[in-house]
Structure 1
């Protein structure tokens, strides 16, 4: 694999990262009040992306392409997880806001631990079959004839993971900085609920699409 090919792949990954998706909204919501948890979610997403690359390298992701039924159920599982994240987050922020969050100036905003953010980011990416299909469709084009398939796939996966992590980490930091200017309780709670609603809507759309396919 030449340097030019690697640069072309990196450019493609950058374009993919700049296109808002479930991971972007998830990191944004988690980072609103705790940037370290948002960065942890970005790291979880990056680790999961490498896991998808490994599955492609050993041929496991090919099952998704060959079996429409497996793809359908994995797609539904990912959608249900997003739906759960959106609804549970909305309910928790609503309860926190009603309780008044005594002794806190966070306005009832939902908090994640670093470990919780890491897990949420990893699961979101692992349960997103589009990530696997991206690797399945794109990575083989950059693997040289007769080359080390597994090694090349892991290198490309690492490149994509670094780019995705960098972008999502920036999103997390920008979100936190912005919220410092918008720290009023009503504004913070409204942003939390809107982002939770977006995640839930994305999950419902994925479930509906999978159920009808």
Structure 2
């Protein structure tokens, strides 16, 4: 595989990463509790995309393309999970800031990382992206598990870089974000966005 092909694939991955989606809102939602939690959610999302790349490389994701039922199940479960995250985030929006000091609350890294992984794994569009796009960048003699995983790694790195940059940008405005009213408002907005994405995902397949 040529360097030009890799750069072209990375550019396409960046364009897709920039488009707001579930991972974007999820990362910003956790980033309100502190930059490290947003970065961990971004890392979880990147790991999830690697799992999809592996599934495509091993031929497992063909099931989603060939079986409408399997695609429907994954789609609905993913939509319900986004809706769950949105509802829980909205109900807990007052916990984003410390009422005593106005700073971020302490939180464990596990939930943010795990949510990032699950959000990506329950988004079949990631698998379909690899199925549809990756072959366009593979020469006939290079169609192998290792080569596909290289492209999967490129996608994961690009997506993580973009999401981490979003978190870093938000961290620069940390003083403004730590205001209780602002934090609660942004937490509520991101939660509503996740709910809307979840409902839209479910409605699209019903």
TM-score (norm 1): 0.91
- Which residue does the alignment assign to 2:19? 19
Choose the corresponding residue for 2:188, options 185, 188, 193: 193
> Residues 111-149 of structure 1: CA distance to partner in whole angstroms, max 9, x if unpaired?
642221110101000000110000010011222213242
Whole-angstrom CA distance in 2 between matches of 1:147 and 1:29: 40
Q: Secondary structure at the match of 2:140?
A: coil
How far 1:184 moved relative to its partner?
Answer: 1.9
**How many Å separate the matches in 1 of 2:77 and 2:105?**
24
Q: 1: distance between equivalents of 2:199 and 2:105?
A: 22
Distance apart, 1:180 and its partner CA: 1.9
Answer whether contact 2:27 2:38 (CA < 8 A) is retained.
Answer: yes
Distance 1:79 1:42 in 2: 19
Once residues 16 and 29 of structure 2 are traced to their aligned partners in structure 1, the CA distance between those partners, rounded to angstroms, is 20
**Secondary structure of the corresponding residue to residue 63 of structure 2:** helix
Seen in structure 2, the aligned counterparts of structure 1 residues 30 and 56 have a Cα distance that, compared at 3 Å, is same
TM-score by length of 2: 0.93
Provide the residue aligned with 2:89 in structure 1.
Answer: 89
Partner in structure 2 of residue 103 of structure 1: 100
Counterparts of 1:98-177 in structure 2, within 5 Å, are 102-106=99-103, 112-177=107-172
Contact 1:42 1:118 in 2 (8 A): yes
* Cα distance, 1:33 vs structure 2: 2.6
Counterparts of 1:59 and 1:111 in 2: how far apart (Å)? 41
Structure 1: gaps spanning 5 or more residues: none
**In the aligned structure 2, how far is the partner of 1:37 from the partner of 1:18?**
20
Q: Give yes or no for contact 1:83–1:201 (8 Å, CA) kept in 2.
A: yes
How many pairs does the alignment contain? 206
Q: Work out the CA distance in 2 between the residues paired with 1:40 and 1:28.
A: 11
Q: Which runs of 5+ in 2 are unaligned?
A: none
Contact 2:89/2:191 (<8 A) preserved: yes
